[in-house]
Structure 1
């Protein structure tokens, strides 16, 4: 429960951080480029080469996409009066509610 409270507080504070860039961390959590390289290798032709810059850009894209998915899901849960979201972990069904518009926006 402590972890879910921390995540919820981080999500709530993100909107404040958007207007106050001074409080942003210098090294945000991101996806390891080695993992992204493995994903690319598994889904592209073996002869496809990916530069380190492309891997870093993909890691940043996935980081932003994931944060946006969590933030949007949190907003939907907060606005849904029938759902009590206090201290609740996000479920797959919660993420499915925002998946369509999220993918269209990205």
Structure 2
């Protein structure tokens, strides 16, 4: 059972890393769509989850990147919560 838990944890960490990378690339894409003087402001707005303000300022071209960012963010934290839940239940599992 111990080896299987390690495999599951590795798979979950891999999924979390991929989701984090997708979110980071989506954030870079959103910032690249911002005008030259507003890139830092776009980062702050993205970090504060002000997607409507970003879409109003940058136009409809930013919508797919914002949707991808939000979904990757949700997947990342869902996997982290699942890893924590699994790690808390491991001591209570009985080995065969």
Q: Which TM-score tier does this pair reach, normalised by the shorter chain?
A: 0.3 to 0.5
The structure that is helix-richer by fraction is 2
Q: TM-score, normalised on structure 2?
A: 0.41
Q: Which has the higher contact order (CA 8 A, sep 6+)?
A: 2
Larger Rg: 2
